[in-house]
Structure 1
């Protein structure tokens, strides 16, 4: 690619992880988080002022770690509504900008002089204010940007552009989007303010109740969920090694894990039922038979079958998972970026901030 050719980037800016894919062949995934050294000793040990990626886990005790979109804050709900102070909102806004810049710099390190055009996925019902927040955070990294619904990027990447329903299960939100040949209207989409973070909290509470002497961190909880998470009733056993009084023991976490994972099932099924009921009856059947699960939560074992069972009395359903939950959104966003017409972009570098409504 010549130096004058733009680099196109698709970005799935998730609550817990951000994945990027680019037209120059680079792709990566990193935590949507920033770490600042807690004191001068940590700064000396780390040798830098800001920490990203794997080092956030390896050195978390020495860091003040900020997840800017925790529980959907700033990306879906207003910071004030999330109970954040002005100072905390500013800190999370800085963290958002730094994550985006770090991810884009990884992509363009061999194309430093090229313009960068990016499509960024956000929750389906993100407000204009939330989208503008993302655009402002992206102004230092992209020359032009388009902000679109996360489920739509998944559908676009899979060529599921008609007669489909996409359910994107992230850490902070679950987004449900009908696909019928055009970009869906905002009031046709649904964002549920629940997701993987809620499952983690519920699992942690239930695990403490069952094993009050066990010791574990939120990272350990998340790792157990990602390894064993399931919602179905068939025989399934989850055994995790956790310290009890400082001594590692193997504990059966099957029931608390299943109960926690199931907290998202009913809200998803209810939302899908209500959404499908609003469409033409002929389209309802086609939509039920073409439901796509995306996002990290799509990997919960048995979730596809539970959704199908929940829709059985409504005529049945066929639910499939994306083949690559990590990159499906980013790859779809990249595909959309590379076919975006000129009037679909919002210029950032010329004006310094977003100047028109997001897609």
Structure 2
């Protein structure tokens, strides 16, 4: 396969994208829908991917899907007709549901392509999900971790070749700001526009990214990405459970489910006792302290990243910036995370900090912002992928 070099956006093209995406809503409403051009906002997540797509000039979405980022290959010697459709490869939720009979392979790790073959198989499945009109060109704005290196972008471009014809890569926190932006409130003096002046913290599965969004496309100095996020918390929790309950032998999926239901930081509000069937017997596992300790380590990493980004902001912007710190991604759903981060900032001397979370729809904002950017990107800003 030929390697397609996907360069970072230049300052000029980045400013043009930002100018376009901050234009008043409906600026292109008069354009007729084009069924020969499918525009996609794509969040290729370590654990969950999100696709949003519409035809150029159309307002309605033709695809709006959230899919677990996993590929399942049938185990060696598996009998026929055990898997749906007698398939040898399953994807997403179907793979998780039938994981007993599959070798599960996550295409991504720490927000980057880890297994290129699995990534290629997964994107071929996504092409079926998109199901574009025959002959239609498919273009996508794709979210990448903050400060993703050139080699990571090149590997990602190989993974999505065949899925998309042209792409633009944009940092995920910046896209999250675009997706979270409420255009109906832009005329409200009390509204703190996340695109105008905010610090976006995207706590995903593979990476935690922090990014200054201040009315222009972020530079390298305006963003930081840490390989410490939800998956790391899962690993720490799994290790703690093994130490306390050596015979438990929980799968990573069970550990992740426990974390997602019971995660917290700060003061534990009550005992966390989880009922699990282990070795065919019902067991009660007291996991409150283990969960809190694992999540607390994530909080401290986020705190340090936030302080680093605040230090990068200009003195003219920092007073408003610290009042518009926005948490997104799965880690933002950890109970009391926003309040505890705000407490740490207050204790460290920051003036009236305010930390917000984007809420339950956190998985959609990167893809939503990516589709906003895709609708407005000019021809010169797209990079064509080489055919495989």
Same fold? TM cut 0.5: yes
Equivalent position SS for 1:27: strand
Q: CA RMSD in A?
A: 1.9
Equivalent position SS for 1:6: strand
1:106 is matched with which residue: 129, 134, 141? Answer: 129
CA distance in structure 1 between the aligned counterparts of 2:363 and 2:176, rounded to whole angstroms:
11
Q: 2:214 matched to which residue of 1?
A: 180
Structure 1 position 277, deviation (Å): 1.2
1:314 is matched with which residue: 346, 350, 369? Answer: 350
2:67 is matched with which residue: 18, 25, 30? Answer: 30
**Structure 1 residues 251-260 or 232-241, which shifts more?**
232-241
Q: 1:137 matched to which residue of 2?
A: 159
Structure 1 ranges of 4+ moved more than 3 A: 1-5, 71-74
Matched, 1:60 2:116: no
Structure 1 position 194, deviation (Å): 0.7
**Structure 1 residues 328-337 or 245-254, which shifts more?**
245-254
Equivalent position SS for 1:21: strand
Q: 2:255 matched to which residue of 1?
A: 221
Q: What is the aligned residue count? A: 334
After superposition, residues 307-346 of structure 1 pair within 5 angstroms as: 307-312=341-346, 313-323=349-359, 324-346=361-383
CA distance in structure 2 between the aligned counterparts of 1:72 and 1:27, rounded to whole angstroms:
21
Structure 1 position 37, deviation (Å): 1.0
Deviations 1:309-339 (A, max 9, x none): 1211122311111131121111111111111
Deviations 1:131-188 (A, max 9, x none): 1111121110112111110111101112321210100011111001100111101232
1:121 is matched with which residue: 143, 155, 158? Answer: 143
- 8 Å contact 1:37–1:43 — kept in the other structure? no
- 8 Å contact 2:111–2:144 — kept in the other structure? no
CA distance in structure 1 between the aligned counterparts of 2:134 and 2:35, rounded to whole angstroms:
11
- 8 Å contact 2:45–2:111 — kept in the other structure? no
CA distance in structure 2 between the aligned counterparts of 1:62 and 1:328, rounded to whole angstroms:
34
Structure 2: any 5+ residue segments left out of the alignment? 1-31, 55-60, 182-193
Equivalent position SS for 1:97: helix
Q: 2:179 matched to which residue of 1?
A: 157
Superposition TM-score, scaled by structure 1 size: 0.87
Superposition TM-score, scaled by structure 2 size: 0.81
Q: 1:95 matched to which residue of 2?
A: 118
CA distance in structure 2 between the aligned counterparts of 1:278 and 1:33, rounded to whole angstroms:
37
